[in-house]
Amino acid sequence: MSAAKKVVEKKIAEGVYQFESVPCGLCGGEDFDVIATKDRYGLDNRVVTCKQGRINKLIFICEDRNQAEIVADNARRRDDQKYINITTTKPYYNPNRYLAQVKTIEDYPSWYQVRYF
């Protein structure tokens, strides 16, 4: 176990870092399915998905194909990203089923950096 992980676990045990349960940020619901109980570092952290909510879709606006490839490569490096596509037109998602969030380099600059994730 790394020294940093031990420090975090100690602070959790001491109550310095506390976890909280919050309603779904998309629909306000409180009925969840548990996806994972630990994060990528092995720390206790529940990851959930809302049973009632919409599916979150991220749309990254890019200046050119090269920038789109960088964003797509970063998305593929993350376990929480699925269905990664590059398109030349803005996609449409039914708002009753999906929450489509349009993001730019100003919103998430790290996504536009080569091999950030």
The DSSP annotation for 68-117 comes to HHHHHHHHHTSTT--S----SS-----TTTEEEEEE-TTT-GGGGSTT--
| pLDDT tens by residue, the chain, 117 residues | 688 888 988 988 898 988 888 887 767 778 888 878 887 788 877 777 777 777 888 999 999 999 999 999 999 999 888 889 999 988 999 887 887 889 999 999 999 999 999
Identify any residues that bridge with 60 across adjacent strands, giving them in sequence order: 103
Q: What pLDDT shows up at residue 26? A: 66
Q: How open is the CA angle 105-75-60, to the nearest 5 degrees?
A: 35
Please indicate, yes or no, whether the overall pTM of this predicted structure exceeds 0.85: no
Q: What pLDDT shows up at residue 75? A: 94
Q: Domain segments of the chain: what residues?
A: 3-50, 55-112
Q: What pLDDT shows up at residue 34? A: 82
